[in-house]
């Protein structure tokens, strides 16, 4: 089948490359000429393991291409995917749908024959109705169906998630659209992937409900971690104890500095606004947002406590800047709350991240970015592990002690074991453990 993917951000590029790898002919369209130029030169605008090779292979095969002008690709497409950004709108937390609606207007003028128009972007309930209204108003005679097909991709594991998903959710009651969507995802039938067809509004809400539930789960275990510290329990053992219950599951039960990233912060806010506007508030989600925001800010207090209560004049080695490992995504990373507060408190911050420093430099002031973890640690009064990159899991602790002014570590991801750190002579602080 022929696919046009509007948007070459995280979702659009990964989805387009994976559809091409399924055997479909895909053209990814973006208004940014510099981004398209880089893609045509084989340069990825994001870091995602395996993506560069996947794109290169499918470009060579002739199944994947990139363009600024999407007219030909849209006119020839069986399905046109809208995969543009829906950031939180300033002031009220609603999703900004201006890019989605602009894409709908462009698509309306270009489609030929029956075309399935698919919202891959995360959009509030009812957005598909508005897209349909926009297109119908511009092209009353056009044959099309607007479908919701939310993405459930984890950054750092997106290709695996696309090719071996837990499920595919498709929101449409149009029979012709169902046939097209079934064919697009037919390669997944080898893995017996469930494809759930629902009404469009149900599909749109499913995406928000999934992200809100996972955000709630993270926030729950973070609060349990605080309680563990207060009563002398171990949050990792608590997480395992409840995670082995199949009704609960072990995923997203890792205590830390709070969730961030491109999805959970904006999607929880958007769901809260949607629910409030509908007169059916979601109190658990509202509380989750508030608790998570406060938690990220509270991490600085842990660093100050490890230093005897004072930050001024202290050198902090910060390992990890991105909101999670295996991505260069800085959106709503805990680092964006922690670092400014450290600097405001008079601390000197030396930081290293394997992939995130270019983006971090655009967002953070007063930070010295280094070439590696040991360079960041040199002369530090405390090491803070903020992101659990693999290369931080087996640091040479004896070397660290020699490089530091004093052997102090604040491990906000519970990478190390307290007993091991104490035996090496470190003053060690972690999350939810004695």
Terminal Cα-to-Cα distance of the chain (whole angstroms):
57
My answer on whether 155 and 249 are in the same domain is no
The number of distinct structural domains making up the chain is: 2
Does residue 223 form part of some domain?
A: no
- Same domain for 189 and 243, yes or no, is no
What are the tokens at 82?
Answer: 């809208």
8 A C-beta contact, residue 334 and residue 323? yes
**17 and 133 housed in the same domain:** yes
- Both 402 and 280 in one domain: the answer is yes
In a domain, 416, yes or no: yes
Burial of 11 (0-12, 13-18, 19+ CB in 10 A): buried
User: Whole-model pTM?
Assistant: 0.93
By three-state DSSP, how is residue 268 classified?
Answer: helix
Rg over CA atoms, the chain: 23
Q: What is the pLDDT of residue 401?
A: 96
Q: Which residue has the tokens 């405390």?
A: 382
370 within some domain: yes
The pLDDT score that the predictor gives to residue 118 is 98
The CATH number of residue 304's host domain is: 3.40.50.720
Residue 349 lies in a domain: yes
Are 184 and 242 in a shared domain?
Answer: no
Same-domain pairing of 289 and 163: no
Catalytic center residues: 263
Residue whose token pair is 């005897």? 308
189 and 238, same domain (yes or no): no
Q: Is residue 417 part of a domain?
A: yes
Residue that is written with structure tokens 């930081």 in the block: 351
Query: Which residues partner with 382 through β-bridges?
Result: 316
Q: How far apart are CA 164 and CA 53, in angstroms?
A: 18
Quick one: 422 and 279 in the same domain? yes
Residues 15 and 157 in one domain: yes
CB 254 within 8 A of CB 220: no
Q: Are residues 155 and 253 in the same domain?
A: no
pLDDT tens for the 434 residues of the chain, in order:
999 999 999 999 999 999 999 999 999 999 999 999 999 999 999 999 999 999 999 999 999 999 999 999 999 999 999 999 999 887 777 899 999 999 999 999 999 999 999 999 999 999 999 999 999 999 999 999 999 999 999 999 999 999 999 999 999 999 999 999 999 999 998 889 999 999 999 999 999 999 999 999 999 999 999 999 999 999 999 999 999 999 999 999 999 999 999 899 999 999 999 999 999 999 999 999 999 999 999 999 999 999 999 999 999 999 999 999 999 999 999 999 999 999 999 999 999 999 999 999 999 999 999 999 999 999 999 999 999 999 999 999 999 999 999 999 999 999 999 999 999 999 999 999 97
> Do the domain assignments include residue 280?
yes
Q: Which long-range contacts (CB under 8 A, 24 or more apart) does 405-409 make?
A: 405/315, 405/379, 405/380, 405/381, 406/381, 406/382, 408/306, 408/307, 408/381, 408/382, 408/383, 409/306, 409/382, 409/383, 409/384, 409/385
- Write down the pLDDT at residue 434: 76
Domain that holds residue 49: 2-198
Residue ending a domain, among 198, 221, 254, is 198
Asked, for residue 376, whether it belongs to a domain, the answer is: yes
Candidates 125, 126, 124, 127; CA nearest to 103 is: 127
Residue 34: Cβ within 10 Å count: 10
Closest by CA position to 302, among listed 420, 406, 383: 383
Q: How many CB atoms lie within 10 A of CB 68?
A: 13
How far is the CA of 343 from the CAs of 278, 316, 365, in angstroms? 42, 10, 9
179 and 247 belong to one structural domain: no
Q: At 316, list the tokens.
A: 């902090």
Residues 243, 162: one domain?
A: no
Distance CA 412, CA 8 (A): 33
Q: Is residue 193 part of a domain?
A: yes
């Amino acid at each position: 089948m022929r696919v046009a993917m509007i948007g070459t951000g995280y979702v659009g590029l990964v989805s387009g490359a994976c559809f091409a790898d399924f055997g479909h002919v895909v053209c990814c369209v973006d208004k940014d000429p510099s981004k398209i130029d880089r893609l045509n030169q084989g340069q990825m605008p994001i870091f995602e393991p395996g993506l560069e090779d996947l794109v290169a292979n499918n470009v060579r095969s002739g199944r994947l291409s990139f363009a600024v002008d999407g007219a030909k690709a849209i006119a020839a497409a069986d399905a046109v995917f809208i995969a543009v950004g829906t950031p939180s709108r300033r002031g009220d937390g609603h999703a900004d749908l201006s890019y989605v609606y602009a894409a709908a207007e462009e698509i309306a003028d270009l489609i030929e024959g029956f075309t399935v128009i698919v919202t891959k972007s995360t959009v509030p309930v009812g957005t598909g109705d508005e897209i349909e209204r926009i297109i119908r108003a511009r092209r009353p005679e056009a044959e099309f169906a607007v479908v919701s097909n939310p993405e459930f991709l984890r950054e750092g594991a997106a290709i695996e998630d696309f090719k071996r998903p837990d499920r595919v959710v498709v929101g449409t009651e149009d029979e012709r659209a169902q046939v097209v969507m079934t064919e697009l995802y037919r390669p997944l039938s080898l893995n017996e992937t469930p494809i759930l067809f629902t009404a469009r509004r149900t599909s749109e809400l499913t995406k928000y409900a999934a992200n809100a539930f996972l955000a709630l789960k993270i926030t729950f275990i973070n609060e349990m971690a605080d309680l563990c510290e207060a009563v002398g329990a171990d949050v990792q053992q608590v997480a395992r104890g409840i995670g082995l219950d199949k009704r609960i599951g072990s995923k997203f039960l890792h205590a830390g500095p709070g969730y961030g990233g491109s999805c959970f912060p904006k999607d929880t806010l958007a769901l809260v606004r949607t629910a409030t506007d509908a007169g059916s508030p979601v109190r658990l989600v509202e509380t989750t947002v508030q608790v998570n925001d406060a938690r990220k800010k509270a991490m600085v207090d842990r660093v100050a406590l490890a230093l005897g209560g004072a930050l001024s004049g202290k050198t902090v080695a910060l390992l990890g800047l991105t909101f999670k490992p295996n991505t260069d995504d800085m959106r709503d990373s805990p680092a964006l709350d922690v670092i400014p507060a450290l600097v405001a408190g008079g601390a000197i911050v030396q930081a290293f991240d394997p992939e995130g420093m270019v983006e971090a430099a655009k967002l953070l002031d007063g930070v010295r970015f280094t070439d590696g973890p040991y360079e960041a640690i040199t002369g530090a009064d405390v090491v803070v592990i903020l992101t659990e990159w693999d290369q931080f899991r087996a640091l040479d602790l004896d070397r660290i002690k020699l490089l530091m002014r004093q052997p102090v570590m604040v491990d906000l991801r519970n990478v190390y074991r307290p007993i091991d750190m104490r035996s090496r002579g470190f003053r060690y602080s972690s999350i939810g453990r004695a």
